[in-house]
Structure 1
Amino acid sequence: METAGGPRPRRTRSVRACCRQTATQDKSTKREITNVLKSLSMGNTDEDDDTEIDDTYVFQKNGGSSIERRVMSPRYNILREVGRGSYGVVYEAVARRSGAKVAVKKLRCDAPENVELALQEFWALASLEKRHQNVVQLEECVLQRNGLAQKMSHGNKRSRQYLRLVETSLKGERVLSHPEEPCYLWFVMEFCEGGDLNQFILSRRPDPGTNSSFMLQLTSAVAFLHDNNIVHRDLKPDNILISEKSGTPVLKVADFGLSKVCAGLGGSAACSGKDGEDNHNKNRTSNINKYWLSSACGSDFFMAPEVWEGHYTAKADIFALGIIIWAMLERITFIDAESKRELLGTYVRQGEDIVPVGEALLENPKMVLHIPQRRRSSMSEGVKQLLMDMLAVNPQDRPDAFQLQARVDQVTC
């Protein structure tokens, strides 16, 4: 193995690539985007109209529309583009009424695979009834089509456009609109001004206090998601954002495009009695860890061995978290083949190649991981053993999210 500097992967087989790069929009594009999410009042709507007055928005285009309407001031002003990936663009914006900064993600829903990613993110975030300080908050989601838009609501059977979007994802073919009628989903979320975990860690000197805090926050977020029957499936430093509004860095797990909501699991059933809380934790984890997934997806350096085979449970998130924490503690990095960025990530060296840990363990299940890597590492025995358990080849040997949270509490004390 090798630490920060120049090791490059022998190949990049990530199912999903994300490249964040700052750019300046030209004036015409910015003017068009600034009109996003305007309030709309309509009259004489008939039963065939999906639009509800209270939940309707408009994306005004040049030339106006034949529909009579009264357009209010823009709800959000777009400031700049802050990220661009394979499936969408993220902007920094300001809510005009409150003055609060928000992030606005625009995803084009033309191809069925794009629709599936957008809906998975929407379903995951919309299914959360409670907020968690370490999970990015969705303020609203808006479906735009043919100049008009409608606020999305989870399971809205009255909206034909929503149902067609679901049908597009399920059938794998376009049913929502023609190619000349672009369709978009806009996600309005809390804005994280501190960048992602890569940028934050690698731009600062090592700080044991920050490392301990981040370990606690990450395990708390994953426990919350698993308690709500959500498997993230793409945990990596790129998808962990930093908010510094409170004066101290707060992690936010984001980007739920590959997530899976394990519907039908009763993980939040109330328990009573002396051991009620312990029984509650056991019940909620046993359910989600019995839900088997088969889509091999994620980013290769963070994928568990069983994900490469396409048969896994929520324990795959624990493996990915182990890779992230190990890389964060020892500042292990590699150079991404596509973006040429230095990224946090742990790997195994095979000759001149660097190989994802999960892939290497799949090829050689008896391989012993050298934790810590550095001889002068200050890693405690408790943290070392915890990482070994999180990165176990057999998922059953890994702690579940709630056991992990308790152990991190112990080792960081």
Structure 2
Amino acid sequence: MDLCNGMRRMIRTPRSLRSFKRLVEAQSANANMKTKREVKLEMDKVLRALTVRNNKSHEDTDVPKEEDCFYMNFCMNKSLEHAMVMAPRYSLLREVGRGSYGIVFEAIARRTGARVAVKKLQCNAPENVELALAEFWALESLGKKHENVVQLEECVLQRNGMAQKMSHGNKRSKHYLRLVETSLKGERILGYPEEPCYLWFVMEFCDGGDLNQYILSRRPDPHTNKNFMRQLTSAVAFLHKNNIVHRDLKPDNILISQKSGLPVLKVADFGLSKVCAGLGALGIDGEEHPTGDGGGGGESTDVNINKFWLSSACGSDFFMAPEVWEGHYTAKADIFALGIIIWAMLERITFIDAESKRELLGTYVRQGSEIVPVGEALLGNPKMVLHIPQRTRSTMSEAVRKLLQDMLAVNPQDRPDAFQLKVRVDKVTCAG
């Protein structure tokens, strides 16, 4: 199913700044939204003690077993006394964000005392299921951790009064397979009960807000800018090495952790991401078409992610590459989005979002009294020359200016790939 077809934004005024996820939110908003207190009570029920044993070992994980699932009111032995002394695994502290298809809470892991972020996603529509599964598949597919990519601790599926730890590709779980089928068909499955179904993502907590908040609340600092450039390019190179195209890189989706005392960037929100390796074998949605010998199913080191073509024109308007607006692009679209982010960060170029009234980092092109995303402007006029830097008193070096020009090239083939970019960024940030 191609969620993004027919949802291309026509950007002409600041009021029309809408990301793909805001469109999903408008379409699938829950008319019976629970109050914060109700959500808290429900979360306390759902996130009870749950062992981390691999539930693939069971022949049918839909049959409740004490090892990996539980009833919301009591456990398998139906002992209410036992249930009452069972402490929840996480204690909810507060709601920290409400996005297009989920709610994020700050919580504490009772066993370790560590702070975590818990995201609740309601799988009440095929488009929500697809977004949730895309995020789960992307984060679960990462065999290794990276300092600049948000870490998934666990994912729990809640349905029919039961919660079950999710594992990627678990073909023995009927609930998991039904979610996949719902996403693939783009419609509710016949005979599938209309009862609430949720995915709960437990992730590392980032206490420094997002990149917008961090940059705009502080004085310009060249050292921080260079450090962030290295972290961002390192994260994208890691994702591309693991065959993941993010497709929605923007300051809102880059979180800050300050646990070590220094700001550490964390690329987050993988709802629009694509795991490209092995798509031919898995048949997830038939969207990607590998060319040459980069084709489906090999190890990450054997796959050239830039040979996988994607066709969904989705993302966030101000960070979409020209080819994304056309609906035919590769992982090089992430490089373009990263160029917009770095350019805006270095020169503090912002706009006011008409919906949230927030000041956001983002580079654009002025056409009369209107502002237009760089990608859309280049699509309309491929010969347009971008004025980098924009500000007359900018201290941007020639090496950084040339790097941004290459990252924002109209032709994706003229852009560096993520690995070439990482090498160049290391050089230009060390030289200056």
- 1:78 maps to which of 64, 89, 92: 92
Matched, 1:250 2:250: no
2:255 is paired with a residue whose SS is strand
User: Which residue number in structure 1 is paired with residue 142 of structure 2?
Assistant: 128
Larger deviation, residues 49-58 vs 371-380: 49-58
Aligned equivalents of 2:114, 2:399: Cα separation in 1: 42
Change (3 A) 1:106 1:368: same
Aligned equivalents of 2:350, 2:421: Cα separation in 1: 24
Aligned equivalents of 1:392, 1:228: Cα separation in 2: 24
Please state how far the C-alpha of 1:47 moved relative to its aligned partner. Answer: 5.2
Matched, 1:9 2:40: no
User: Which residue number in structure 2 is paired with residue 178 of structure 1?
Assistant: 193
Return the structure number with greater relative CO, CA threshold 8 A, min gap 6.
1
1:54 is paired with a residue whose SS is coil
- What per-residue deviation string (whole Å, max 9, x for no partner) do you get for residues 50-69 of structure 1? 44533224544xxx699725
Please state how far the C-alpha of 1:226 moved relative to its aligned partner. Answer: 0.1
Change (3 A) 1:26 1:85: closer
Aligned equivalents of 1:59, 1:126: Cα separation in 2: 26
Matched, 1:38 2:48: yes
Aligned equivalents of 2:60, 2:351: Cα separation in 1: 56
- 1:56 maps to which of 65, 69, 75: 69
2:300 is paired with a residue whose SS is coil
Please state how far the C-alpha of 1:34 moved relative to its aligned partner. Answer: 2.2
Aligned equivalents of 2:217, 2:60: Cα separation in 1: 56
Segments of structure 1 that go 5 or more residues without pairing to the other structure are 1-6, 270-282
Change (3 A) 1:53 1:369: same
Aligned equivalents of 2:35, 2:228: Cα separation in 1: 34
Amino acid at match of 1:33: M
**TM-score (norm. length: structure 1):** 0.88
Aligned equivalents of 1:48, 1:155: Cα separation in 2: 13
- What per-residue deviation string (whole Å, max 9, x for no partner) do you get for residues 69-123 of structure 1? 5432100001000000120100000000000000000000010000000000000
Change (3 A) 1:66 1:123: closer
Give the alignment of 1:396-407 within 5 angstroms: 396-407=413-424
Change (3 A) 1:99 1:335: same
1:35 is paired with a residue whose SS is helix
1:37/1:59 contact within 8 Å kept: no
- 1:268 maps to which of 300, 308, 312: 300
Matched, 1:92 2:106: yes
- 1:349 maps to which of 359, 366, 390: 366
Aligned equivalents of 1:214, 1:58: Cα separation in 2: 45
Aligned equivalents of 2:19, 2:375: Cα separation in 1: 13
Give the alignment of 1:97-246 within 5 angstroms: 97-175=111-189, 177-179=192-194, 181-246=195-260
Change (3 A) 1:111 1:186: same
- 2:320 maps to which of 303, 325, 340: 303
User: Which residue number in structure 2 is paired with residue 272 of structure 1?
Assistant: none
Give the alignment of 1:275-354 within 5 angstroms: 284=303, 287-354=304-371
2:340/2:408 contact within 8 Å kept: yes
Amino acid at match of 2:272: L
Please state how far the C-alpha of 1:152 moved relative to its aligned partner. Answer: 0.3
User: Which residue number in structure 1 is paired with residue 9 of structure 2?
Assistant: none
1:8/1:335 contact within 8 Å kept: no
Aligned equivalents of 2:37, 2:21: Cα separation in 1: 31
Identity %: 75
Segments of structure 2 that go 5 or more residues without pairing to the other structure are 1-11, 26-33, 52-57, 279-295
Aligned equivalents of 2:213, 2:72: Cα separation in 1: 34
- 2:406 maps to which of 379, 389, 397: 389
1:241 is paired with a residue whose SS is strand
1:410 is paired with a residue whose SS is helix
User: Which residue number in structure 1 is paired with residue 428 of structure 2?
Assistant: 411
Aligned equivalents of 1:395, 1:51: Cα separation in 2: 50
Please state how far the C-alpha of 1:49 moved relative to its aligned partner. Answer: 3.5
Please state how far the C-alpha of 1:157 moved relative to its aligned partner. Answer: 0.8
